[in-house]
Amino acid sequence: MAEASVEDNFNGVAVTPWQVTGAVDYDKLIAEFGTAPLTPALVERVERLTGRKAHHFLRRGIFFSHRDLDQILNAYEAGERFYLYTGRGPSSEALHLGHLIPFIFTKYLQDAFKVPLVIQLTDDEKFLFSKHDATLHPLDAYIQLGRENAKDIIACGFDAEKTFLFADSNYIGSLYPNVVRIQRAVSFNQVRGIFGFQLSDNIGKIAFPAVQAAPAFSSSFPHLFGGDAQVPCLIPCAVDQDPYFRMTRDVAPRLGYRKPALIHSKFFPPLQGAEGKMSASDPNSAIFLSDSPAQIRKKVNKYAFSGGRDTVEEHRLYGGDCSRDIAYQYLTFFMEDDERLEEIRQAYASGRMLSGEIKAELVQCLQPMLAELQAKRQAVTESDLNRFMQPRPMSIS
Ligand code: TRP
């Protein structure tokens, strides 16, 4: 019998924590998920409260949706503290450009609001949901990937005084009281409805959502917040993680906790085109943090889907299609200079700039950015890693 599943909600487009396919219509997604659009008025309010220009991810609608962000801003304005929570499922040796988006944005939020941050490495999740044979890809392999990924994350520049990084396989003891409370409050029917679990799925999968939910409650971090169970939480994440937090928000009041607020990003498209999201399992679809300058150039030139025309003559006549051009799309994520980006858009759309030229712009943008991240990652020592991962009190204003 075919079971109703979140995977076929509209016309070949699927958005779940494990799968993103099709050309996602983000307005539809806001309606479907019941989230709120991130309006220009809210972005302005963020600017006013933080006293700095909004991140270009906000200005350009890359973070496009939220739940209760206004309430976090109210709390902040009233002088109340809050904390940030984000995470990473360690499934590949190096992070790719798409994985970077939430971390770059979270770093901006941490700097702008000067708030503590917790980062969850779900080595358990990736082991439980892996399609590989568990003898070939044992739990230890995911624990090790988590440590490698943690170095990439630290290289994004998080403040060691305000950031706690933890791996589930290690920190679970402290999360466990909240995990158990959440598990008691959610039925199998509910998680099946939200995540599309099957009766044949391993029981770890079915129990896991409680583990991703627990860090949204401040009592999971006694070393940070003492006994305070009511510190508000803001979760920056890609919108495919929303199902976990719909569940979290649903149980929160029943446990006497506040609902976490969320701010959602769009997906980072694969090199091959504007559908789905960049995937680490296809190395030709992704640019990794570990790629060399030559690899970056080669991948962009060879694989980046072009919105250009078939011939130079036609291109000069009709211009390129920025909405389909991957080089242009990536520039909207990584080129900070608004004016330069607009110049490029006009030049490309009018046909003055050719496909090879816009790709060269992207290569020039990515090479120094990744070289800098690689240098920072090189500088991360085991002892830095241990410091970030040590449960410890933090400076919280
Ligand atoms: N499940 C996420 C992933 O597979 C990792 C994660 C855990 C996460 N907690 C989070 C992501 C909180 C965003 C916010 O990558």
Cα separation, 46 vs 234, whole angstroms: 14
Amino acid at position 127, single letter: F
| Cα pseudo-dihedral 308, 291, 102, 114, rounded to 10 | -130
Mutate to test the pocket of ligand 1, among 99, 120, 194 (most ligand atoms within 8 A of CB): 120
Cβ neighbours, 10 Å, residue 23: 12
Cβ neighbours, 10 Å, residue 193: 15
Cα separation, 220 vs 176, whole angstroms: 8
Residue 249 CA to ligand 1 centre (angstroms): 16
Phi first, then psi, for residue 391 (nearest 5°) are -60, 120
The β-bridge relationship of strands 14-16 and 19-21 is antiparallel
Cβ neighbours, 10 Å, residue 27: 11
Q: Is 110 in the pocket of ligand 1 (CB under 6 A)?
A: no
Question: What pTM does this model have?
Answer: 0.95
pLDDT along the chain (397 residues), means of 10: 39 79 92 97 98 97 98 97 97 94 98 97 98 94 97 97 97 98 98 96 98 98 95 98 98 98 96 81 88 97 96 96 97 97 98 98 98 97 96 81
Q: Which fold has domain 283-378?
A: Tyrosyl-Transfer RNA Synthetase (1.10.240)
Among protein residues, the one whose CA lies closest to atom 10 of ligand 1? 87
In eight-state DSSP terms, residue 165 is E
The answer to whether domain 6-272 and domain 283-378 are alike in fold is no
Q: Locate the domains of the chain by residue range.
A: 6-272, 283-378
Q: Is 146 in the pocket of ligand 1 (CB under 6 A)?
A: no
Evaluate whether the domain defined by 6-272 bears CATH number 3.40.50.620.
yes
CA-only gyration radius of the chain, Å: 21
Among protein residues, the one whose CA lies closest to atom 8 of ligand 1? 87
CB 167 within 8 A of CB 143: yes
Distances (CA, A) of 48 to 42, 55, 73, 331, 388: 10, 13, 11, 27, 31
Mutate to test the pocket of ligand 1, among 244, 262, 263 (most ligand atoms within 8 A of CB): 244
Per-residue confidence (pLDDT) for residue 89, from 0 to 100: 97
